[in-house]
Amino acid sequence: MQMYASCAARDQQTATDRLLACVADIDKWMSSNRFKLNADKTEFIWLGTRQQLAKVTVLPLLVKDQIITPLDKVRDLGVIIDGELTMERHVRNVVRSCFYQLRQLRSVRRSLTVEARRTLATAFVATRVDYCNAVFYGVSTQVNRRLQMVLNALLRFFVTSSIGCQCLSEYSSRWHPPLMTVSTALGQPTSRTYARR
């Protein structure tokens, strides 16, 4: 269950009261239907710009006799969301995971057919970059470069054949959120960044 409330920093107490009232109503409904609200697993985060968050007084909340301290990051459907929505922590996690998988694949690369390489790389690397990729829209250039490094490494994994280059060019050209594409010029990875409007 997720709840959101939008407010100005000066109205944080009103928004907090509304959220707590909503949690109380949900708890009442759940109890009447023989469900239990697990307050131990409840997380709370303030979202905003650095300047907005500086104006917020971070106070713990009381939910069903449990003290809930606001966090600086939460995980939602596998996506790590930080308070400023920079997505840096999530991208760091994705990049680390992708490079780990690429290292594992490189150790068996010579014993795989091109088709097997393509299937395994897509299953273990490309799907991690693609998962919930809409959250990458509008991220900073620095965060975008880290994702591009994964795609370039994936290209180098395939570069031993023209089939691999075609496969990755097709993949990277449909990978829109950071608005980057990877192309090959004489087998060397290059990247172009398109400006956002």
Q: Is residue 114 domain-shared with residue 138, that is, in the same domain?
A: yes
In the chain, pLDDT over 90 holds for what percent of residues? 19
Q: Is residue 38 domain-shared with residue 112, that is, in the same domain?
A: no
Is residue 119 one of the residues assigned to a domain? Answer: yes
pLDDT tens sequence across 6-36: 888 888 889 889 989 998 899 999 999 999 8
Is residue 156 one of the residues assigned to a domain? Answer: yes
The Cβ of residue 150 has, within 10 Å, a number of other Cβ atoms equal to 22
Is residue 98 one of the residues assigned to a domain? Answer: yes
pLDDT tens sequence across 115-148: 888 888 888 888 898 898 888 888 888 998 998 8
Q: Is residue 45 domain-shared with residue 91, that is, in the same domain?
A: no
Instruction: Quote the CA–CA distance of 187 and 158 in Å, as a whole number.
Output: 10
Q: Is residue 140 domain-shared with residue 173, that is, in the same domain?
A: yes
Query: What's the whole-model pTM score?
Result: 0.72
Q: Is residue 106 domain-shared with residue 23, that is, in the same domain?
A: no
Q: Is residue 92 domain-shared with residue 36, that is, in the same domain?
A: no
Q: How many domains does the chain have?
A: 2
Is residue 184 one of the residues assigned to a domain? Answer: yes
Q: Region 48-58: what's the mean pLDDT?
A: 88
Range of the domain at 42: 9-71
Is residue 82 one of the residues assigned to a domain? Answer: no
Is residue 146 one of the residues assigned to a domain? Answer: yes
State yes or no: pLDDT of 95 exceeds 90.
Answer: yes
- Looking at beta carbons, which pairs linking 8-12 to residues 24 or more positions away fall under 8 Å? 9/48, 9/52, 9/55, 9/56, 10/55, 12/46, 12/56, 12/57
Q: Is residue 39 domain-shared with residue 103, that is, in the same domain?
A: no
Is residue 76 one of the residues assigned to a domain? Answer: no
Is residue 165 one of the residues assigned to a domain? Answer: yes
CA 41 to centroid of chain Cα atoms: 21
State yes or no: pLDDT of 190 exceeds 50.
Answer: no
Angle CA 91–97–100, to nearest 5: 140
More confident residue, 67 or 180: 67
